[in-house]
Amino acid sequence: MIPVDSAAAYDAARHRAAFIDRSDRARIVVSGADRASYLQGLLTNDVVALQAGEGCYAAYLTPQGRMIADLYVYELGDVMLLTMDRGVKEAVLTKLDQFIFSEDVQLGDVTDTFAQIGVVGPDAAATVARLLTGASAETLTALPEHANLRAHWNGDPVIVTRIADTGEAGYDVFVDRAKADAFASAATSAGAVQLDDQTAEAIRIEAGVPRFRRDMDEETIPLEAGIESRAISFSKGCYVGQEVIIRVLHRGHGRVARKLVGLVVDGDQPPASGAIVRSGDREIGHVTSSASSRALKKPIALAYVHRDFVTPDTAVSVDGVSAAVTALPFVPRQP
């Protein structure tokens, strides 16, 4: 593999186009006539309302309102495609399967069947359009968030989804796994620069987007991570864990014990995951993700802190180093 120039990759993602192989993602296909109604009772968003070509972001909760996974749901017309962190795939498959009784629902693990290549940046639509047939730059630009379409690359069918997990315009292209390297080569020829994992992670943190198994886990309530506006429908019917969410919203007025916030840290080095956040001598939270921000030219971090310390500009310390709470995202999202 050709070494990646992190500075060049970051610049491309922010000003032109960059791509990354999302090998950290798992993919599950849900088929059958009852697929939407089945998932509707399990996931937090309004899955049954999705039409072919539409999608949404959602969470899968325990009855106690804790997260099993966050995931993207795409209605492709004949099946639904779910994508999630690879580390929770087996748990999701097991739990989804145990609730299938007489429903016409089938589950398929297609993680190793397809590669998922993300193309991000202001020129992402034009770059993807140069690669594909059946997907113009105008069509791609007009796609709503989480929408999907079918196209072709070198005669092979592909699926394209609109994503927004980096703060820049972006698309995921699902291609035959055996042809992933060829697609990456074609993306380079089309003008995109390969993103290394560290740079992609820094861009994600700058966008203030929490990641499962880093910023969210099996003890997290969605409201703590601040994903409720994107992941939860407050008008749909019942789903697993809803009672806890409603109780927090109505009885607790949405107040949770801790919240995920941004921290801008003094010094030269980003704090380690798990680093303790303090106000004076009081321990008030811990860091979950961190990076050196090229945009701010300072270390930044995502951290859970006690709800009394979430106001922007609140002075704190991280393992003895001065820091300040900041509103997310660190870098404003681009249209």
Domains, the chain, in order of start with CATH, read 113-191 (3.30.70.1400), 224-326 (2.40.30.110)
Q: How many residues does the chain have?
A: 335
Q: What angle do CA 46, 71, 201 make, to 5 degrees?
A: 140
Specify the 3-state DSSP secondary structure of 141: helix
Specify the 3-state DSSP secondary structure of 170: strand
Count CB atoms within 10 A of the CB of residue 320. 10
Closest CA relative to residue 168, chosen from 131, 137, 209: 209
Task: Identify the helix (H) or strand (E) that includes residue 156.
Answer: strand 156-163
In tens digits, the chain (335 residues) has pLDDT values of 444 689 999 999 999 999 999 999 999 999 999 999 999 999 999 999 999 999 999 999 999 999 999 999 999 999 999 999 999 999 999 999 999 999 999 999 999 999 999 999 999 999 999 999 999 999 999 999 999 999 999 999 999 999 988 878 899 999 999 999 999 999 999 999 999 999 999 999 999 999 999 999 999 999 999 999 999 999 998 999 999 999 998 887 788 999 999 999 999 999 999 999 999 999 999 999 999 999 999 999 999 999 999 999 999 999 999 999 999 999 987 65
Q: Is the dihedral of CA 109, 111, 112, 113 positive or negative?
A: positive
pTM across the whole model: 0.95
**Rounded CA separation 76/150 (Å):** 8
DSSP letters for 200-231: HHHHHHHTT---BTTTB-TT--HHHHT-HHHH
Closest CA relative to residue 59, chosen from 77, 41, 72, 78: 72
**Rounded CA separation 38/173 (Å):** 26
Supply the Cα-derived Rg of the chain in whole angstroms. Answer: 20
